[in-house]
């Protein structure tokens, strides 16, 4: 059974308040935990950077290879479907060879193949390289999130893992800065290639990971318990309901998010008529909101629970997609300012994912289960950009993006069937969830 942590601890027979200051989560980490935090933060930040170079360069790529909106959407979907397989593999590897070794492997993979995209001679090779990049992209989160969940104290796990996820907004911001500079000073026909080539830089992170980061004591002490048949185990009676509805939760959250990730830059440039610099300015509001959303969402997951946080931000995200894409021509100022709450809500909903999935499953299957659930959801959600690409040919990009709001309805539906896990200790053996 999952047990809730007390709000005080006992020393010498007297209860002392637990540290609850704004940096309590950091003080609760030991030296190894702090190194793990830095490595996971940088890994996910660079993962984000390498993901975002495609949506940012998508308009230029479409011109270079004369692509339809459907073909453009397929580039994004291919990345995400491949990342689903990469995430499942990363989860299995994190149980088999350790969280840290898996983290190193995935970082090298997404860095090398992002750079290879910049050398693609045609659409087909770009599609292939992007699929291979997706393998590393999916696996990195699977390894990094479970690593940090095992180091974090239960009472701070939501905000600690949310801070790791906030690095996604940092990587996104760095990608926008690189996009703005490169597309300002380099012709569009080769600027997108230069942008992809900068994606090789994350490989340098391996030096830090190899020297400073170790697997958590929780994993090392229980390594002998790891279930070699974990994929089958998560579909057995005790866990199948949790697994199935966690996949739906993941699919809805990511389907809505990747609708925005793939199509907002193109929407701003083609339907709102913004320049490269103008698009960068609008995305600044979106990214600032995303960063604030990750941090705030992490606080809420610890204060009001995982499920309430998911519900609130799913409803708000769906409503904001509708408003953002349906504003009339000439309302670009409103589009600008709405970027902040849109980024805020669509990112805050992710804050509890790493901690929630770790809490749902015992250590015997945790890495495999977390990688499977999150990334099968990603694979399903990946079809949203392609569907929107097809719909855009009839309804325009703004009209087609309304389909993304449907994804958040899946989130609300899934939560009816999943348990609350806030303030719970991680399971060290198979147990029925309370």
Point out the least confidently predicted range of 3-12, 138-147, 270-279. Answer: 3-12
Place of tokens 């990342």: 83
Task: Give the rounded percent of residues in the chain with a pLDDT score beyond 70.
Answer: 89
pLDDT band at 281 (very low <50, low <70, confident <90, very high): low
Query: What confidence tens digit (pLDDT) does each residue in 169-189 have?
Result: 889 889 989 998 999 999 988
The helix (run of H) or strand (run of E) holding residue 11 is strand 8-11
Query: What confidence tens digit (pLDDT) does each residue in 146-170 have?
Result: 888 888 887 888 888 888 888 888 8
pLDDT band at 275 (very low <50, low <70, confident <90, very high): low
Whole-angstrom Cα distance, residue 139 to residue 93? 9
Query: What confidence tens digit (pLDDT) does each residue in 214-240 have?
Result: 998 888 888 888 887 888 999 998 899
Q: Is the pLDDT of residue 2 over 50?
A: no
Q: What is the pTM of this model?
A: 0.74
Provide the pLDDT for residue 176: 87
Whole-angstrom Cα distance, residue 266 to residue 116? 23
Place of tokens 């190894």: 32
Tell me the helix, strand and coil percentages in the chain, rounded to 5: 75, 0, 20
Provide the pLDDT for residue 280: 65
Query: What confidence tens digit (pLDDT) does each residue in 22-66 have?
Result: 788 888 888 999 999 998 898 889 888 988 898 889 889 999 999
Query: What confidence tens digit (pLDDT) does each residue in 300-332 have?
Result: 888 888 999 999 999 999 888 888 777 777 666
- Other CB atoms within 10 Å distance of the CB of residue 431: 13
Contact 248, 381 (CB under 8 A): no
How many residues belong to the chain? 434
Point out the least confidently predicted range of 24-28, 43-47, 407-411, 426-430. Answer: 426-430
């Amino acid at each position: 059974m999952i047990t809730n942590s007390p709000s005080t601890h006992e020393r010498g027979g007297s209860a002392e308040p637990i540290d609850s200051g704004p940096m309590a989560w950091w003080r609760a980490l030991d030296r190894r935990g702090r190194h793990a935090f830095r490595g996971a933060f940088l890994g996910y930040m660079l993962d984000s950077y390498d993901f975002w170079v495609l949506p940012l360069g998508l308009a230029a790529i479409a011109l270079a290879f004369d692509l339809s909106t459907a073909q453009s959407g397929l580039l994004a979907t291919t990345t995400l479907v491949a990342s689903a397989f990469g995430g499942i593999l990363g989860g299995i590897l994190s149980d088999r060879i350790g969280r840290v070794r898996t983290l190193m492997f995935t970082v090298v993979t997404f860095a090398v193949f992002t750079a290879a995209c910049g050398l693609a001679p045609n659409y087909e090779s770009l599609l292939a390289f992007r699929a291979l990049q997706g393998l590393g992209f999916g696996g990195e989160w699977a390894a990094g999130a479970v690593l940090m969940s095992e180091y974090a104290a239960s009472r701070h796990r939501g905000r600690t893992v949310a801070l790791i996820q906030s690095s996604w907004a940092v990587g996104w911001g760095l990608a926008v800065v690189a996009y703005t500079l490169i597309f300002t000073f380099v012709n569009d026909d080769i600027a997108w290639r230069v942008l992809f080539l900068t994606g090789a830089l994350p490989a340098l992170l391996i030096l830090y990971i190899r020297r400073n980061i170790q697997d958590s004591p929780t994993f090392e002490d229980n390594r002998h318990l790891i279930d070699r048949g974990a994929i089958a185990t998560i579909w057995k009676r005790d866990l199948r309901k949790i697994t199935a509805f966690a996949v739906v939760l993941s699919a809805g959250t990511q389907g809505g998010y990747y609708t925005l990730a793939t199509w907002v830059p193109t929407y701003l440039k083609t339907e709102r008529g913004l320049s490269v610099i103008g698009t960068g300015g609008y995305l600044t509001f979106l990214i600032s909101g995303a960063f604030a959303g990750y941090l705030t969402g992490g606080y809420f997951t610890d204060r009001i629970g995982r499920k309430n946080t998911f519900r609130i931000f799913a409803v708000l995200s769906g409503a904001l997609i509708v408003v953002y894409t349906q504003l009339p021509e000439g309302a670009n100022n409103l589009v600008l300012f709405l970027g902040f709450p849109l980024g805020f809500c669509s990112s805050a909903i992710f804050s509890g994912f790493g901690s929630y999935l770790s809490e749902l499953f015992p250590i015997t299957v945790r890495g495999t289960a977390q990688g499977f659930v999150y990334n099968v959801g990603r694979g399903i959600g990946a079809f949203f950009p392609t569907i929107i690409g097809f719909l855009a040919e009839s309804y325009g990009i703004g009209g087609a993006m309304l389909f993304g709001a449907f994804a958040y309805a899946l989130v609300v539906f899934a939560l009816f069937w999943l348990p609350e896990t806030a303030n719970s200790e991680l399971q060290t053996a198979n147990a029925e969830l309370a």
